[in-house]
Structure 1
Amino acid sequence: MTSNLDHTKDFIALWSRIDLEAILAVMAPDCIYHNMPWAPLQGHDAIREGLAGFLAGAGAIDWQLLHVAESQDGMVMTERVDRFLIGERWIEMPVMGIFEWQDGLIVHWRDYFDSARFQAEMATIS
């Protein structure tokens, strides 16, 4: 039986394919995705719209998993560096993520990162 930790590692690896529909397929239809400090998104349509911006300009995506832990109730915490190749420049963001799983699907996903740093990095892209 696959653990939630294994599901999370597979989900993180999936991002390198830059395939939004494959990413959404790992989420429950009513999944909540909350990219702190922005407003949470719920359901595939809202999450698709929210994630499209991250994927649209990326020539490559490489999420580097630094640390991962699974709680006794199956919640998975990750420390990552999310890397996006935009044009010829890599944008790198340290991220802490929480993944809650049910029946092999993400039901709640929260990411914590410095949005001001992200916006400053994006402003340098021409």
Structure 2
Amino acid sequence: MHYTPLWSPPDVTARFLDCLAGGDVELAEKMLAPQVSFRFGWLPARGCRSMLRRARSPRRFDTFIHNVVGDGVVVLSERTDAYRFGPVWVQFAVCGRTRVVDGKIVEWRDYFDWAEVAGACARGAVGALIPAARPHLPATASRDDQAAWLS
């Protein structure tokens, strides 16, 4: 008997990122294969547990998806990730690639520009002292996203 997933690979990727941003780590975990291969920049990890440990850390995280496209099992995403560490707000562009097999993410790779991350950290440090210098949320953020982020 052949199993047909409920969601397409791009849907799985978008919903997974939404779950992480919304703090629903349990649902996000159900979308990952048990031995998912994960890499964020140079930080490799194997398995759900090590990846989700990062998602549960005591920081504020959000992601604003601009584009998600898929061809077969490979999905490419373009988004802005935003991190909040107390008064320091950091956001930068991220491009991701996932492989989704039978409705589960088996491979996840995120790519970004280290120079942009360094600049975002510097802007975040300045924004901690001068709130008007904090980064603004991307245009794709809804009013509800903006209200939640600013609270």
Among candidates 13, 17, 20, match of residue 8 of structure 1: 13
Could you say if the C-alpha distance between residues 116 and 46 of structure 1 is closer, same or farther in structure 2, counting changes exceeding 3 Å? Answer: farther
Question: 3-state DSSP class of the match of 1:8?
Answer: helix
1:93-117 alpha-carbon deviations (Å, 9 max, x no partner): 1000001011111100000012454
TM-score (norm 2): 0.67
Bigger RCO (CA 8 Å, 6+ sep)? 1
2:36 aligned residue:
31
CA distance in 1, matches of 2:90, 2:64: 13
> How far does residue 22 in structure 1 lie from its aligned partner after superposition?
3.2
CA-to-partner distance for each residue in 1:46-84, whole Å, 9 max, x for gaps? 2234x247x4221xx33111122111x221101100112
* Percent identity for Structure 1 against Structure 2: 28
* Matching residue of 1:47: 51
Q: Using a 3 Å threshold, how does the CA distance of structure 1 residues 19 and 116 change in structure 2: closer, same or farther?
A: farther
Take 1:25 and 1:2, find their aligned partners in 2: how far apart are those partners? 13
Q: Does residue 81 of the first structure (1) align with residue 86 of the second (2)?
A: no
Residue 69 of structure 2 corresponds to 69
- Aligned-pair Cα RMSD in Å: 2.5
Q: Quick check: which has more Rg, 1 or 2? A: 2
Gaps of 5+ in 2: 1-5, 130-151
More strand by share: 1
What is the CA–CA distance in structure 2 between the aligned matches of 1:12 and 1:43, rounded to whole Å? 17
